[in-house]
Amino acid sequence: MKIGAIFPHLEIGSDPIVIRDWAQAAEDLGYSHILAYDHVLGAVHENREPKLWGPYTENDTFHEPFVLFGYFAAMTKRIEFATGILILPQRQTGLVAKQAAQVDIMSGGRLRLGIGTGWNYVEYDVLGEDYASRGKRQVEQVEVLRKLWSEQIVTFEGKYHSIDRAGILPLPGRQIPIWFGGFTDIAFKRAAAMGDGFMFGSGQADNLAGLTKLEGYLDAAGRDRSNFGIEAFLNFQAGPDQWRAEVEAWEAVKADHVSMRGMALRGQGGGMDSPQAHIDALRTYWEVVGDLAD
Protein backbone atom coordinates (compact mmCIF):
# COMPACT_ATOMS: atom_id res chain seq x y z
CA MET A 1 0.00 0.00 0.00
CA LYS A 2 1.14 3.52 -0.78
CA ILE A 3 0.84 6.05 2.04
CA GLY A 4 0.64 9.69 1.02
CA ALA A 5 0.15 13.07 2.65
CA ILE A 6 -2.53 15.64 1.88
CA PHE A 7 -1.13 19.13 1.39
CA PRO A 8 -2.49 21.20 4.32
CA HIS A 9 -3.57 24.18 2.25
CA LEU A 10 -5.84 25.64 4.92
CA GLU A 11 -3.10 25.92 7.53
CA ILE A 12 0.35 25.83 5.89
CA GLY A 13 0.39 29.48 4.80
CA SER A 14 2.05 30.98 1.73
CA ASP A 15 5.78 31.04 2.54
CA PRO A 16 7.38 29.13 -0.38
CA ILE A 17 10.27 27.97 1.82
CA VAL A 18 7.89 26.46 4.37
CA ILE A 19 5.91 24.79 1.59
CA ARG A 20 9.12 23.41 0.12
CA ASP A 21 10.23 22.11 3.52
CA TRP A 22 6.91 20.32 4.02
CA ALA A 23 7.12 18.57 0.63
CA GLN A 24 10.74 17.56 1.08
CA ALA A 25 10.01 16.26 4.58
CA ALA A 26 7.22 14.09 3.17
CA GLU A 27 9.57 12.65 0.55
CA ASP A 28 12.46 12.14 2.96
CA LEU A 29 10.28 10.29 5.45
CA GLY A 30 9.05 7.87 2.78
CA TYR A 31 5.57 9.08 1.84
CA SER A 32 4.71 7.92 -1.67
CA HIS A 33 2.66 10.88 -2.85
CA ILE A 34 1.38 14.36 -2.11
CA LEU A 35 -2.30 15.03 -2.70
CA ALA A 36 -3.67 18.56 -3.18
CA TYR A 37 -7.21 19.93 -3.17
CA ASP A 38 -8.53 22.43 -5.72
CA HIS A 39 -10.60 25.58 -5.56
CA VAL A 40 -9.85 28.50 -7.86
CA LEU A 41 -12.04 30.96 -5.96
CA GLY A 42 -13.68 31.17 -2.58
CA ALA A 43 -17.10 32.73 -2.13
CA VAL A 44 -19.11 34.44 0.59
CA HIS A 45 -21.90 32.09 1.67
CA GLU A 46 -24.33 34.54 3.21
CA ASN A 47 -27.43 35.79 1.38
CA ARG A 48 -27.24 33.46 -1.62
CA GLU A 49 -30.03 31.57 -3.33
CA PRO A 50 -29.62 28.71 -3.73
CA LYS A 51 -27.55 28.38 -0.56
CA LEU A 52 -23.91 27.40 -0.68
CA TRP A 53 -23.56 24.27 1.43
CA GLY A 54 -19.86 23.44 1.02
CA PRO A 55 -17.24 23.66 3.76
CA TYR A 56 -15.05 26.45 2.32
CA THR A 57 -15.57 30.20 2.15
CA GLU A 58 -13.80 33.33 0.94
CA ASN A 59 -11.48 33.03 3.96
CA ASP A 60 -9.93 29.67 3.00
CA THR A 61 -6.60 29.38 1.21
CA PHE A 62 -6.02 27.09 -1.79
CA HIS A 63 -2.76 26.89 -3.73
CA GLU A 64 -3.30 26.18 -7.44
CA PRO A 65 -2.44 22.47 -7.84
CA PHE A 66 -0.69 22.48 -11.23
CA VAL A 67 1.58 25.37 -10.25
CA LEU A 68 2.15 23.78 -6.84
CA PHE A 69 3.10 20.44 -8.38
CA GLY A 70 5.44 22.11 -10.85
CA TYR A 71 7.17 23.71 -7.87
CA PHE A 72 7.33 20.39 -6.02
CA ALA A 73 8.60 18.55 -9.10
CA ALA A 74 11.66 20.81 -9.24
CA MET A 75 12.65 20.13 -5.63
CA THR A 76 11.83 16.43 -5.19
CA LYS A 77 13.04 13.26 -6.88
CA ARG A 78 10.54 10.43 -6.48
CA ILE A 79 7.39 11.48 -4.62
CA GLU A 80 4.25 11.40 -6.75
CA PHE A 81 1.51 14.03 -7.07
CA ALA A 82 -2.27 13.69 -7.13
CA THR A 83 -5.12 16.16 -7.34
CA GLY A 84 -7.78 15.19 -4.90
CA ILE A 85 -9.83 16.45 -6.50
CA LEU A 86 -9.53 18.86 -9.43
CA ILE A 87 -12.95 20.37 -10.18
CA LEU A 88 -12.73 19.47 -13.82
CA PRO A 89 -15.98 20.87 -15.33
CA GLN A 90 -15.22 24.41 -14.18
CA ARG A 91 -11.96 24.36 -16.15
CA GLN A 92 -11.36 24.39 -19.90
CA THR A 93 -10.58 20.83 -20.98
CA GLY A 94 -7.81 21.70 -23.44
CA LEU A 95 -6.05 23.81 -20.84
CA VAL A 96 -6.28 21.04 -18.23
CA ALA A 97 -4.85 18.60 -20.78
CA LYS A 98 -1.91 20.96 -21.41
CA GLN A 99 -1.24 21.73 -17.75
CA ALA A 100 -1.48 18.12 -16.62
CA ALA A 101 0.76 16.95 -19.46
CA GLN A 102 3.33 19.59 -18.57
CA VAL A 103 3.42 18.60 -14.89
CA ASP A 104 3.70 14.94 -15.84
CA ILE A 105 6.56 15.62 -18.25
CA MET A 106 8.48 17.87 -15.88
CA SER A 107 8.06 15.47 -12.96
CA GLY A 108 9.07 12.38 -14.91
CA GLY A 109 5.61 10.81 -14.96
CA ARG A 110 4.59 11.40 -11.34
CA LEU A 111 1.07 12.85 -11.78
CA ARG A 112 -2.28 11.25 -11.03
CA LEU A 113 -5.33 13.36 -11.92
CA GLY A 114 -8.18 13.05 -9.45
CA ILE A 115 -11.34 14.77 -10.69
CA GLY A 116 -14.76 15.72 -9.41
CA THR A 117 -17.67 18.07 -10.09
CA GLY A 118 -17.62 20.30 -7.02
CA TRP A 119 -20.37 22.18 -5.18
CA ASN A 120 -19.60 25.90 -5.52
CA TYR A 121 -21.82 27.29 -8.27
CA VAL A 122 -20.40 30.78 -7.68
CA GLU A 123 -16.99 29.50 -8.70
CA TYR A 124 -18.47 28.09 -11.91
CA ASP A 125 -20.18 31.41 -12.67
CA VAL A 126 -16.96 33.40 -12.23
CA LEU A 127 -15.05 30.98 -14.47
CA GLY A 128 -17.72 31.14 -17.17
CA GLU A 129 -18.78 27.48 -17.02
CA ASP A 130 -22.24 25.96 -16.58
CA TYR A 131 -22.90 24.43 -13.18
CA ALA A 132 -26.05 22.54 -14.15
CA SER A 133 -24.38 20.42 -16.84
CA ARG A 134 -21.18 19.72 -14.93
CA GLY A 135 -21.66 15.96 -14.56
CA LYS A 136 -22.43 15.30 -18.21
CA ARG A 137 -19.60 17.57 -19.33
CA GLN A 138 -17.17 15.78 -17.04
CA VAL A 139 -17.86 12.50 -18.82
CA GLU A 140 -17.05 14.04 -22.19
CA GLN A 141 -14.03 15.83 -20.73
CA VAL A 142 -12.44 12.54 -19.74
CA GLU A 143 -12.76 11.27 -23.30
CA VAL A 144 -11.25 14.49 -24.67
CA LEU A 145 -8.37 14.47 -22.18
CA ARG A 146 -7.37 10.95 -23.15
CA LYS A 147 -7.42 11.83 -26.84
CA LEU A 148 -5.34 14.96 -26.32
CA TRP A 149 -2.76 13.03 -24.30
CA SER A 150 -2.35 10.28 -26.88
CA GLU A 151 -2.87 11.84 -30.32
CA GLN A 152 -0.76 14.60 -31.84
CA ILE A 153 -3.68 15.81 -33.96
CA VAL A 154 -7.20 15.44 -32.56
CA THR A 155 -10.52 15.83 -34.33
CA PHE A 156 -13.50 15.57 -32.02
CA GLU A 157 -17.12 16.64 -32.18
CA GLY A 158 -19.21 16.16 -29.05
CA LYS A 159 -22.01 17.91 -27.24
CA TYR A 160 -19.64 20.17 -25.28
CA HIS A 161 -16.37 20.08 -27.23
CA SER A 162 -15.40 20.74 -30.82
CA ILE A 163 -11.79 20.15 -31.90
CA ASP A 164 -10.76 20.56 -35.52
CA ARG A 165 -7.32 19.04 -36.14
CA ALA A 166 -5.48 20.39 -33.11
CA GLY A 167 -3.18 19.07 -30.38
CA ILE A 168 -1.22 19.98 -27.24
CA LEU A 169 2.43 19.10 -27.96
CA PRO A 170 4.43 18.04 -26.07
CA LEU A 171 2.44 14.90 -25.30
CA PRO A 172 2.96 13.31 -21.88
CA GLY A 173 4.11 9.99 -23.33
CA ARG A 174 1.46 8.01 -21.44
CA GLN A 175 -2.17 8.14 -20.38
CA ILE A 176 -2.13 10.10 -17.13
CA PRO A 177 -4.29 8.13 -14.66
CA ILE A 178 -7.71 9.69 -14.08
CA TRP A 179 -9.29 8.93 -10.73
CA PHE A 180 -12.70 10.15 -9.61
CA GLY A 181 -13.71 11.53 -6.24
CA GLY A 182 -17.01 12.37 -4.58
CA PHE A 183 -19.64 11.16 -2.15
CA THR A 184 -22.63 10.14 -4.26
CA ASP A 185 -23.80 7.09 -6.16
CA ILE A 186 -23.50 8.93 -9.47
CA ALA A 187 -19.83 9.64 -8.75
CA PHE A 188 -19.26 5.95 -8.00
CA LYS A 189 -21.11 4.96 -11.17
CA ARG A 190 -19.12 7.32 -13.41
CA ALA A 191 -15.87 6.13 -11.90
CA ALA A 192 -16.81 2.49 -12.44
CA ALA A 193 -17.69 3.22 -16.07
CA MET A 194 -14.59 5.16 -17.11
CA GLY A 195 -12.19 5.90 -14.25
CA ASP A 196 -8.83 4.43 -13.34
CA GLY A 197 -9.59 4.67 -9.62
CA PHE A 198 -11.57 6.40 -6.88
CA MET A 199 -10.65 8.67 -3.96
CA PHE A 200 -12.78 8.45 -0.81
CA GLY A 201 -12.68 11.69 1.16
CA SER A 202 -15.25 11.25 3.96
CA GLY A 203 -14.81 9.65 7.37
CA GLN A 204 -13.66 6.07 7.79
CA ALA A 205 -17.09 4.44 8.14
CA ASP A 206 -18.61 6.36 5.22
CA ASN A 207 -15.58 5.62 3.05
CA LEU A 208 -15.77 1.88 3.65
CA ALA A 209 -19.51 1.90 2.97
CA GLY A 210 -18.84 3.82 -0.26
CA LEU A 211 -16.35 1.19 -1.34
CA THR A 212 -19.05 -1.48 -1.09
CA LYS A 213 -21.30 0.57 -3.37
CA LEU A 214 -18.48 1.23 -5.81
CA GLU A 215 -17.64 -2.45 -6.04
CA GLY A 216 -21.23 -3.14 -7.02
CA TYR A 217 -20.98 -0.65 -9.87
CA LEU A 218 -17.67 -2.14 -10.99
CA ASP A 219 -19.27 -5.58 -11.12
CA ALA A 220 -22.20 -4.18 -13.12
CA ALA A 221 -19.78 -2.57 -15.57
CA GLY A 222 -17.89 -5.84 -15.99
CA ARG A 223 -14.68 -4.37 -14.66
CA ASP A 224 -11.99 -6.22 -12.73
CA ARG A 225 -11.62 -4.71 -9.25
CA SER A 226 -7.93 -5.64 -9.22
CA ASN A 227 -7.29 -3.23 -12.10
CA PHE A 228 -9.10 -0.33 -10.44
CA GLY A 229 -7.36 1.90 -7.90
CA ILE A 230 -8.70 2.78 -4.45
CA GLU A 231 -7.55 5.59 -2.17
CA ALA A 232 -8.92 6.73 1.20
CA PHE A 233 -8.21 9.92 3.12
CA LEU A 234 -7.41 9.31 6.79
CA ASN A 235 -7.56 12.00 9.44
CA PHE A 236 -4.62 12.85 11.67
CA GLN A 237 -7.16 14.07 14.23
CA ALA A 238 -8.36 10.47 14.72
CA GLY A 239 -5.36 10.13 17.04
CA PRO A 240 -2.47 7.65 17.33
CA ASP A 241 -4.66 4.93 18.81
CA GLN A 242 -6.62 4.82 15.53
CA TRP A 243 -3.98 5.54 12.88
CA ARG A 244 -2.64 2.04 12.40
CA ALA A 245 -6.04 0.35 12.60
CA GLU A 246 -7.41 2.67 9.92
CA VAL A 247 -4.55 1.95 7.52
CA GLU A 248 -4.85 -1.78 8.17
CA ALA A 249 -8.60 -1.65 7.46
CA TRP A 250 -7.87 -0.32 3.97
CA GLU A 251 -5.06 -2.78 3.49
CA ALA A 252 -7.55 -5.55 4.30
CA VAL A 253 -9.87 -4.46 1.48
CA LYS A 254 -6.93 -4.24 -0.93
CA ALA A 255 -6.80 -0.47 -1.31
CA ASP A 256 -3.84 0.85 -3.24
CA HIS A 257 -3.36 4.20 -1.49
CA VAL A 258 -4.23 6.06 1.67
CA SER A 259 -3.42 9.69 2.45
CA MET A 260 -3.00 11.33 5.83
CA ARG A 261 -5.00 14.56 6.20
CA GLY A 262 -3.44 16.83 8.80
CA MET A 263 -5.84 19.74 8.38
CA ALA A 264 -8.73 19.96 10.80
CA LEU A 265 -12.09 19.42 9.16
CA ARG A 266 -15.20 21.30 10.16
CA GLY A 267 -16.06 20.40 13.74
CA GLN A 268 -12.51 19.37 14.64
CA GLY A 269 -11.38 22.69 16.05
CA GLY A 270 -8.92 25.23 14.72
CA GLY A 271 -6.30 22.82 13.46
CA MET A 272 -2.55 22.96 13.97
CA ASP A 273 -1.09 26.20 15.19
CA SER A 274 1.95 26.46 12.92
CA PRO A 275 3.42 25.19 9.64
CA GLN A 276 6.10 23.40 11.65
CA ALA A 277 3.38 21.46 13.41
CA HIS A 278 2.34 20.04 10.04
CA ILE A 279 5.91 18.96 9.32
CA ASP A 280 6.10 17.37 12.76
CA ALA A 281 2.78 15.61 12.10
CA LEU A 282 4.25 13.97 9.00
CA ARG A 283 6.97 12.44 11.14
CA THR A 284 4.70 11.43 14.02
CA TYR A 285 2.21 9.69 11.73
CA TRP A 286 4.94 7.91 9.77
CA GLU A 287 6.49 6.52 12.93
CA VAL A 288 3.22 4.73 13.64
CA VAL A 289 2.21 3.50 10.16
CA GLY A 290 5.25 3.79 7.91
CA ASP A 291 6.18 0.12 8.17
CA LEU A 292 2.86 -0.71 6.43
CA ALA A 293 3.90 1.16 3.28
CA ASP A 294 5.16 -0.63 0.19
**Chain segment 180-232, per-residue pLDDT in tens:** 999 999 999 999 999 999 999 999 999 999 999 999 999 999 999 999 999 99
> What is the model's pLDDT at position 270?
73
Q: What is the pTM of this model?
A: 0.97
Do 87 and 181 meet the contact criterion of CB atoms below 8 Å apart? no
Identify the CATH number of the domain in which residue 282 sits.
Answer: 3.20.20.30
Residue type, 17: I
Q: Distance between CA atoms of 23 and 38, rounded to whole angstroms?
A: 17
- Pick from 202, 222, 208, 294: which is nearest to 256 by CA? 294
pLDDT in tens, 143-162: 999 999 999 999 999 999 99
Q: Residue 100 sits in which domain range?
A: 2-292
Q: What's the chain's average pLDDT? A: 96
- pLDDT for the residue numbered 273: 85
Q: How many domains does the chain have?
A: 1
Closest CA to 69 of 79, 56, 58: 79
